[in-house]
Chains A and B, each alone.
Chain A
């Protein structure tokens, strides 16, 4: 078998499984799950084989088939291999494999079991498509396909109105981002005449000003896509709602992979972005990180806390890209994929343990009852908060270091403050859920999850622990050579690298962690209800209400659109249909009725009209 066939198999195997499940094995739940898991695991294994075969060479390789070719509009369906995409493939198939396995346990007994796996497979296919896309339009196509999968999975329990609404909201919000995205693609295509990343890069390398005046706007328009998919401010509102989906979905799509696609895409098209665009991107990222972290402090739903945490971390990544550091961004993306997936899966385990209870104030003291969950959750929390030597420490440090390197003190400050907040809200969560007293019956009768769910937790825990110092960063540096690259050679060097490269950032990060931890400990170690609600007062309410963004959008944007729709509808009904057509109809009818009045039935009238007709006829011809 040729090596070129492998990626196609990797890509299409999940799709095939989705199709087979949908068409043939809807009834047989076990078989469906088996097919789906088999497909994604095989994809993962093949990816590993492929990666080991081709290595991490930055040399670009492409496989392409022509998809559409009309004049200047030429779109390939191509696969693009470089360290960026290969690493992302590994992450996607790997995390997806684990979550697929986890889902067997989590979704056990659900009536949409087969459907769930079909959608999950479809998602895996779409996500791989984004990763492998070699041109803008293909990227856009898969971009939309992950949107579909997300919609289907968020609305998986469609009988719940909140889930159905959340799915719709997620999709529509994403669509607004995609609107900018497609405009960006159009602009770039119209200016540079190509959609292929390689070709575009070549053009821009040979002539950096090829985009001319539209450079900034094109970059920002493309960034819009990332804003939507990665839920950056101002389109961040959909992600917390998307937690209505089953927890594995939150873990896979709304934590590990899909939401990271925006960051991935920005790295992929980094060559297009000029300085002003990057600046905007970095500030949007920073602001999102801050905003989300603040909101997370006062959330009580375990998944929502994690969702805001995700937002916040995505903000970090986007900020990193904006600061011109794709490597830190991708590094953080990788580690975040592991520990955030782990956190979600852990929370899923907790939720399952407490019989679908999601309010953290109704849990408590779960440490003993769900030990595996607790320990893995703890590892993930530490990773997220940036505790040495957990993976999050390294990746977060690289971002903070980048900010410092760029002398962007505002963003550095934001980053550190967010790090404090992160530690605070995560430990708040840990203390309330796992320590303290049991706060409800469900928590009283909690039990540990089945093994099929615990093994993915364990594997992810290991990954969260080690991902920071096994050289992940190195993969990305191959693609984006750093300015002062010092290739770390060995394991121990990796382990202590941050302290050597950017000691200030590393220690500042650790200090921030400590501040956050102690604050949380002080406030929540024994609390039965949230003390901050009273202490912060209105601020707390604002935080709990997500700073009223939903309401704001509801009142402005959605209201505006609905008003326009109402006006259009009114116009259509009363002006076009009513006035114009009604006038024509009524006018014609009335004319008919009026003309008919001449037919009085009276001979004299008839004779008179006849004579009048003759007179008119004569006058017409002879009257002049």
Chain B
């Protein structure tokens, strides 16, 4: 079977789900954050493949935005995590439960 759009989409969905699983199951905030990046990348893959199979460059432009935004987000997020770590000496989500109920 020829590799088509479906294949790319399945791969992208798989990656997305793996990322999601990472977010859900990992305890380290940094790893969670990496998983989120993976999810964004999955979206990128989907966009690029759609762009290719739709003969439409808009998707790729969008990917460009995603990458930029992700970079900004990562920067802010990591700064935040670092600040948190300095304060609390932990990067584990289980320790971040002073506010609940």
Contact = CB atoms under 8 A, between A and B. Distances in A.
Note whether A and B contact each other (Cβ less than 8 A): yes
Interface of A: 596-597, 599-604, 607-608, 611
* Most interface-central of A599, A607, A608, A611 (chain B CB within 10 A): A607
Nearest to B22: A607
Contact of A603 (B20, B32, B101): B32
27 contacts: A596-B101, A597-B101, A599-B100, A600-B97, A600-B100, A600-B101, A601-B96, A601-B97, A601-B99, A602-B93, A602-B94, A602-B97, A603-B29, A603-B93, A604-B24, A604-B25, A604-B26, A604-B27, A604-B93, A604-B94, A607-B23, A607-B24, A607-B32, A608-B24, A611-B20, A611-B23, A611-B24
Contacts, number: 35
Interface in B25-51: 25-27, 29, 32
A491 B24 CA distance: 120
Contacts of A597: 101
B98 interface: yes
Nearest to A598: B101
B24 to A, nearest CB: 5
A599 to B, nearest CB: 5
Contact of B96 (A596, A603, A608, A611): A603
A185 to B, nearest CB: 66
B32 A601 contact: no
Nearest to B99: A601
Interface in B83-101: 93-94, 96-101
Contacts of B27: 604
A611 B36 CA distance: 13
* Most interface-central of A599, A602, A608 (chain B CB within 10 A): A602
A603 B100 CA distance: 11
B6 to A, nearest CB: 17
A607 B20 CA distance: 8
Interface in B56-101: 93-94, 96-101
B24 A601 contact: no
Contacts of A600: 97, 100-101
Given A604-B94, A611-B20, 16 more contacts: A597-B101, A599-B100, A599-B101, A601-B96, A601-B98, A601-B100, A601-B101, A602-B93, A602-B97, A603-B29, A603-B32, A603-B93, A603-B96, A604-B25, A604-B27, A604-B93
Contacts of A603: 29, 32, 93, 96
Interface SS of chain A: helix
B84 to A, nearest CB: 12
Contacts of B101: 596-597, 599-601
A608 B93 CA distance: 13
Contacts of B97: 600-602
A292 to B, nearest CB: 77
Contacts of A599: 100-101
A593 to B, nearest CB: 9
B99 to A, nearest CB: 5
Contacts of B96: 601-603
A502 B63 CA distance: 128
Contacts of B32: 603, 607
Contacts of A607: 23-24, 32
Contacts of A604: 24-27, 93-94
A599 B101 CA distance: 5
A110 B77 CA distance: 95
B58 to A, nearest CB: 25
Contacts of B99: 601
Nearest to A614: B20
A363 B40 CA distance: 114
A599 B55 CA distance: 46
A600 B97 CA distance: 7
A607 B26 CA distance: 11
- 10 closest Cβ contacts across the A-B interface? A601-B100, A601-B97, A603-B93, A607-B23, A608-B24, A596-B101, A607-B24, A599-B101, A601-B99, A602-B97
A13 to B, nearest CB: 78
A33 to B, nearest CB: 78
A70 B25 CA distance: 79
Contacts of B98: 601
A254 B98 CA distance: 82
A205 B99 CA distance: 91
B56 to A, nearest CB: 25
Nearest to B94: A602
A365 to B, nearest CB: 92
Nearest to B35: A607
A175 B84 CA distance: 82
A603 B32 CA distance: 10
B80 to A, nearest CB: 13
